[in-house]
Amino acid sequence: MNIVLTGGTSGLGYRTAQVLGSEIKNKIILIGSNKHKGENSVKALIKETSNKNISFKKCDLSSISEIKSLADKLKKFKIDILINNAGALFFSRKESVDKIEKTFALNHLSYFILTNLLLKYKVIKKGGRIVNVASGAHRGVKLDLNNLEMIRNYNGWISYKKSKLCNILFTKKLSELIKKNNITVNCLHPGFVKTQFGKNNSGLASLAIKFLMNFFAISVEEGAETIVFLATDKSIKNITGKYFYQSKIDQPSIFAQSQRDADLLWEKSISIVKNKGLTLV
C-alpha cells in the first residue's frame, strides 16, 4: 500500500511508520518540516523495519505554498492511505508565513489543504482511507467562526483545543463529500501520549507538559494503535465520518457534532485559502 504520513518523524507518527513500515509491501512517505530530523528518521526506520520503501519529503505544513508544492510532487504517487497527523501547540500567538495564526494554519488548514489538493488531483485511490489525528482535547470548546484565528485574547491551549475540534468537524463534512468516491475518512483521539508534543515551547507551561507526560501519559506504542487500526483494519472499511478512541467509535462533544459548524468551517476554510491565492474546489 502507498501511504503518506504527515508528522511521521517523531512521536505518534514515527511509531505509526514503524508499524506500517514493518509490512514490507508498504511504501511510506513521511512529511515533516525538519530535513535533518526527517532524513535521520528514514535511516532509523529502514534499519528497524528492513523496508527500503520509506522516504521523506520536507514541507512546512503551516505554509500554503509549501503544501501546494508537496501535493504537486505527490501527483504521481497513487495513495491508499493518507494520515494527517502533524500538529503542535503554541503557547504564544504566532503567525505562519501566510499571516495566519499558526495553530489554525498547521493543525487544521494543513489537513484541509493537503487532503483537498490530493482529492482534486485524484491521487487518492478508490477504496482509499484518510485518517485525521484529532484529540480528546476538543472537548469543552465551541468554535467562534468569526474569530477562528483568535485575534483577540489568544490562549495557546484553547487555540489547540479548537484546532482539534476543527479536525473532527472537517472529518464529518469531508466524509459526506467523498462518499461517492468510495474513499473513507475517520478521526481519532490517541490518548495522552508521551511524545515530543509541546516541547517546541519554552517556560513553565512546557515544563508542566513534560512533567505530566512523565507521570500520566501512555506509551507511543499504545497511542499509535488507533491510528494503525483506522488506516488498515478490514472491519471498518465501510465506516466513514466517525471519531474513534481506543479503536472503537466514540461520541465526540456536542459541538463536534454540529452540522452547521461543519458546513461553516468548510466554507470559511475555502475562503481563507482562496484569499491567499489558492483555489481548492
Ligand X SMILES: NC(=O)c1ccc[n+]([C@@H]2O[C@H](COP(=O)([O-])OP(=O)(O)OC[C@H]3O[C@@H](n4cnc5c(N)ncnc54)[C@H](OP(=O)(O)O)[C@@H]3O)[C@@H](O)[C@H]2O)c1
- Would you name the residues annotated as active-site residues? 154
Selected from 19, 37, 44, 255, the binder of ligand X by CB under 6 A is 37
Distance CA 136, CA 138 (A): 5
* Binding of residue 156 to ligand X (CB under 6 A): no
Closer CB to ligand X, 182 or 219, in the complex: 219
How many chain residues interact with ligand X (CB under 6 A)? 29
Touching ligand X, residues 40-99 (CB under 6 A): 59-62, 85-88
Distance CA 241, CA 186 (A): 5
Closer CB to ligand X, 43 or 122, in the complex: 43
Residue with cell 509549501: 66
Give the range of 42-50, 192-200, 243-251, 264-272 binding ligand X by CB under 6 A: 192-200
For residue 44, give Cα distances in angstroms to 4, 15, 82, 115.
18, 12, 22, 28
Contacts of residues 270-277 at CB distance under 8 Å and 24 or more positions apart, as own/partner, are 272/100, 272/109, 272/148, 273/64, 273/109, 273/112, 273/113, 276/64, 276/98, 276/100, 277/64
Residue with cell 508499524: 19
* Binding of residue 241 to ligand X (CB under 6 A): no
Selected from 3, 4, 5, 13, the binder of ligand X by CB under 6 A is 13
Touching ligand X, residues 97-126 (CB under 6 A): 106
Selected from 90, 170, 197, 243, the binder of ligand X by CB under 6 A is 197
Residues 6+ apart with CB under 8 A from 152: none
Q: How far is the CB of 38 from ligand X (least distance, A)?
A: 6
Q: Which residues bind ligand X (CB under 6 A)?
A: 7, 9-13, 32-34, 37-38, 59-62, 85-88, 106, 133, 135, 189-190, 192-193, 195-197
